[in-house]
Amino acid sequence: MAAASENSLEHISNAKRRRLDTNDSRHIAALILARGGSKGIPLKNIKMLAGVPLIGWVIRAALDSGVFHSVWVSTDHDEIERVARAWGAQVHRRSPEVSTDSSSSLDTIREFSRLNPGVDVICNIQATSPCLHPEDLKKAVECITKEGCDSVFSVVRRYPFRWQEVKNEVSQCTEPLNLDPAHRPRRQDWEGELCENGSFYFATKELVEKGLLQGGKMKYFEMKPEYSVDIDIDIDWPVAEQRVLRFGYFGKDKPEVVKLLLCNLSGGLTDGQIYISANGEEMVSINTRDQAGIDMLKKEGVKVILLEKDPIAKALADKLSKRMSCRILQDVDDKLKKVQELMEKKGLEWKEVAYLGNDEPDVKCLELAGLSAVPMDAPTVAHNHAKYICHNAAGHGAVREFAEHILLLKKKAKSQMEQDRICRNTF
């Protein structure tokens, strides 16, 4: 018997507040399939990619697109469910019948449709397409809502020269499938071919009920090649990570406006250990890479303030402050209150603040900050609310890594602003 979706459609997800304004009253739902039994990469769908769980990239794009009444993750795994909810999605707990190695994506989509009859249009978004952008979803859905299409799917333009496969061992001859070898076209003289990239498939429930994702009045949506990333094998991961850092969607707030980094001293800059000498002196260990990271931020105009919940010896605090060339605030019991006081004093908004925390008292700040991160060894409660999870541990390069992440996003945003300026001036 099929398992029911835990949340009914009466409960509209976070996407409601960002719903596209159209005259189409149909309920459009995003559905991300994320089975726990990946054969290639164990729990691939929640493996960290550039500091974000893989499904987090597409959940964020779906929510920020504003075109969905609800955004769902369909899974059979508890940990994937936890991550999906932490990133703002509802969860369809799929049945064992559609969770086997032989189950198709369409089997799961049909089960979801049957259990959620109020959904009129389903957009199946591939979890392994981390460079999906909200703008592509916005444009594609208009083919459904404004042009009356029954199905829309994403494609990318490729330029392959294809040849007939040789299956007869006796004959080694082959034939060209899409070119004349005597007149091989140059890339600029050939329009190429449109290939499905699997990023998304919009289909009406009527098509889904017939066992189809493509049919009726069909239209394709062409995506940029740099956004067409599909992770199939582990060797793709480093390449995909670099592609995501360059072309991925990082959220609505523009990272170039970050003016202040607030960082926990214990569990952020240091590993949280305090050493006590024979004569009672307190000592901590800092990593020169983290110090360099702070220096990098300051050169780019980002102020850095260290926060410490517990009091430390004045001599130690003074030496740390001098060594790191930044202010240290001690006895900070209420992190949120202290950060809000600092923001008010400096006239800053949350989108201008980056925050590196490491535990439960940091949760609200991690959620509200424009950019937020936790070290690799932070507790799960902190991981669930951070926008970036470092590969490095506290006291062992986490601050440097987050500093590089901040500066990379600032550089990317400035580059985009310059490109927009050139386009405006040109046209």
For residue 407, give every residue at least 6 positions away whose Cβ sits within 8 Å of its Cβ, in sequence order, or none: 296, 297, 300
Contact 346, 230 (CB under 8 A): no
Contact 369, 406 (CB under 8 A): no
Pairwise CA distance, residues 201 & 143, whole Å:
12
The residue type at 145: T
Pairwise CA distance, residues 368 & 76, whole Å:
30
Pairwise CA distance, residues 374 & 427, whole Å:
43
Pairwise CA distance, residues 21 & 15, whole Å:
13
Contact 244, 51 (CB under 8 A): no
Strand 327-329 to strand 353-356: parallel, antiparallel, or no bridges (unpaired)? Answer: unpaired
β-partners of residue 373 are: 356, 388
Contact 3, 93 (CB under 8 A): yes
Pairwise CA distance, residues 389 & 383, whole Å:
7
User: Has 184 been annotated as catalytic?
Assistant: yes
Angle of the 54-65 helix axis to the 78-86 helix axis, nearest 10: 40
Three-class SS of residue 104?
A: coil
> Which one of the listed residues 114, 162, 184, 246 is annotated catalytic?
184
DSSP character at residue 361? G
Q: Compute the C-alpha angle 36/389/81, nearest 5°.
A: 30
Please list the active-site residues: 184
